[in-house]
């Protein structure tokens, strides 16, 4: 049986933080379950979809732009009754009665029995001229998402960790050549990954080198301006695209209490997407997992929303089995 609630204007059964693909999916399922749900988002709904020019690996759409998919997902999610509120969440705490208190930048806090964290994260940026200008037009942070758009091109990959080496090798299936650019002489990646990359005939390496500017024709990337650290010499590298893998920053700093996480800061969850904090769930790019795709985000969020719904409906039973 569902517990009858007397809710004020800022009290909800389920609160969702972040309106990327995971957050929108969670809102859809929570709304369909007829739970009073609020979706808190500081910006435009869609998350990283808004920075993706074309998507070809989401079931049901042979090709769709990221903004178009974000718009469709938003409309679909809100059609089931979830409320979307433009608000920047600054902290999430636990009150003595078990409610989750969601502090926002401007205004009074929101309260919920269950919270689903879908605030995502963002790739580390190089912070150089041309990077923002050509994002989605030759600058990418996801080889799986965008590699197929660069068939036959000479590509550059920036980074020296596991992700950079793995993604560089992955890109060789599309590119005519992949040049890996790393600021040090030694890699941080596992030796096996380095060995595989060096054995690939399509791979080349520029070590002790940084990218200082990404240059294009106003539409697409054409070349990189490089600086060699040891001697300060400058050079150019003609490429059709550049993939940046220098780290990812999950937005996992909102909880006021400790939640278990891995070494990179991603939340660890159980099979129901619940974190080590009862009633706090995580889905999408904030959660430790093998890969981060739109499809995995919506799958995580489906599970999280259904588990949160069950917790709201059967809090005693859920607590007993936790």
Q: Residue 115 corresponds to which tokens in the numbers above?
A: 């919270």
Q: Span 98-116, mean pLDDT?
A: 94
- Residue 79's SS3 state is coil
What tokens does 237 get? 């590298």
Identify whether 146 is a catalytic site residue: yes
pLDDT (0 to 100) of residue 321 = 47
Q: Is 2 a catalytic residue?
A: no
The mean pLDDT of 184-207, rounded to a whole number, is: 95
Cβ distance 90 to 69 under 8 Å? no
pLDDT at 1 over 70: no
Domains of the chain (ranges; CATH) run 11-122+248-321 (3.50.50.60), 139-244 (3.50.50.60)
Q: What is the DSSP letter of 140?
A: E
What Cα–Cα distance (Å) separates residue 204 from each residue in 24, 31, 177, 198, 288?
Answer: 41, 51, 8, 8, 31
For residue 2, what pLDDT is reported?
38
Q: Give the model confidence (pLDDT) of 204-243 as tens digits.
A: 999 999 999 999 999 999 999 999 999 999 999 999 999 9
What would the pLDDT profile of 36-74 be if each residue is shown by its tens digit? Answer: 999 999 999 998 888 676 788 899 999 998 889 999 999
Whole-number percent of the chain with pLDDT over 70? 94
145 an active-site residue? yes
Write down the catalytic residue from 57, 145, 208, 217.
145
Q: Is 265 exposed, middle or buried (0-12, 13-18, 19+ CB in 10 A)?
A: middle
Given 2, 68, 95, 142, the catalytic residue: 142
Question: Which of these is catalytic: 95, 97, 106, 146?
Answer: 146
> CA of 254: how far to CAs of 22, 117, 267, 286, in Å?
17, 9, 12, 11
For residues 145-169, one letter each, b for 16 or more C-beta atoms within 10 angstroms of the residue's C-beta and e for the rest, the string is bbbeebeebbbbbbbbbbbbbbbbb
Residue 122: band (very low, low, confident or very high) from pLDDT cuts 50, 70, 90: confident
pTM (2 decimals)? 0.74
R_g of the chain, CA atoms, integer Å: 22
């Amino acid at each position: 049986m569902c517990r009858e609630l007397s809710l004020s204007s800022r009290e909800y059964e389920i609160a969702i933080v972040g309106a990327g693909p995971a957050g929108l999916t969670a809102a859809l399922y929570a709304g369909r379950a007829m739970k009073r749900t609020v979706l808190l988002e500081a910006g435009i709904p869609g998350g990283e979809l808004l920075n993706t020019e074309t998507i070809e690996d989401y079931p049901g759409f042979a090709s769709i732009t990221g903004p178009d998919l974000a718009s469709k997902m938003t409309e679909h999610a809100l059609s089931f009754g979830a409320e979307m509120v433009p608000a920047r969440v600054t902290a999430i705490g636990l009150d003595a009665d078990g409610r989750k208190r969601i502090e926002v930048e401007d205004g009074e806090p929101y309260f919920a029995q269950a919270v689903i964290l879908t605030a995502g994260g963002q790739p580390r940026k190089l912070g150089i001229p041309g990077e923002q200008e050509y994002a989605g037009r030759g600058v990418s942070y996801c080889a799986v998402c965008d590699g197929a758009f660069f068939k036959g091109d000479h590509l550059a990959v920036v980074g020296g960790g596991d992700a950079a080496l793995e993604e560089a090798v992955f890109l060789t299936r599309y590119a005519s050549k992949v040049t890996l650019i790393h600021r040090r002489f030694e890699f941080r990646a596992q030796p096996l990954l380095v060995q595989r990359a060096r054995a690939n005939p399509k791979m080349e390496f520029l070590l002790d080198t940084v990218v200082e500017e990404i240059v294009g024709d106003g539409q697409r990337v054409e070349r990189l301006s490089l600086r060699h650290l040891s001697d300060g010499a400058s050079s150019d590298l003609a490429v059709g695209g550049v993939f940046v893998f220098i780290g990812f920053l999950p937005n996992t700093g909102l909880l006021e209490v400790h939640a278990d996480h891995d070494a990179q800061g991603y939340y660890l969850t159980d099979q129901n997407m619940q974190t080590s904090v009862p009633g706090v769930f995580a889905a999408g790019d904030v959660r430790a997992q093998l890969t981060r795709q739109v499809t995995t985000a919506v799958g995580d969020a489906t599970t999280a929303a259904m588990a949160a719904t069950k917790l709201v409906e059967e809090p005693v039973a859920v607590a007993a089995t936790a």
